[in-house]
Amino acid sequence: MKNQLSPKQALLRYLQQFFFAVFMYIMMLSASVILLKNFELARVWQIIISILPALPVIFILIALMRLLSNSDELHQRINLLAITFSAVLTGLITFSYSFLENIGAPKLPTVAVLPMLFVFWGIGLGYFTKRYE
């Protein structure tokens, strides 16, 4: 049988992994900006260095999946509803905004999509948590 963590232990483990990954993201982003601005590099190295800051985000997502898999059924349901709300709203906004770009609205940076998903997920979590209280 799998060694199940308590909700508090799972949250603490997630927070440790999250903050470490955020720290690594900040370090990698800073290093990549410095390297790309101060050195003439071959295109392949520019590409590799440019995407390096995305690696810690993968670890954040893995930690998040672990946290959700250690949650009880109610919290999993609340998160499913919040994630669905977030995905649909983000998709609707980005899809609709693309039509505004056709008439001269500024381009929506793709880097804004993941933070938008997380913000709407947080809003959804707040709403669905209250709904299930």
**Count of domains forming the chain:** 2
Q: What's the domain range around 116?
A: 72-133
Please list the alpha-helical segments (H only) found in the chain. 7-38, 43-51, 54-69, 73-101, 113-131
Last residue of a domain, one of 70, 89, 119: 70
Same domain, yes or no, for 38 and 79? Answer: no
**Per-residue pLDDT at 100:** 97
109 and 84 fall within a common domain: yes
> pTM of the predicted model, to two decimals?
0.76
| Domain end (from 16, 37, 70) | 70
Same domain (yes/no): 13, 40 = yes
Confidence of residue 7 (pLDDT cuts 50, 70, 90): confident
Place of tokens 């499913």: 80
Q: Are 56 and 26 in contact (CB under 8 A)?
A: no
Residue written as tokens 């793709």? 110
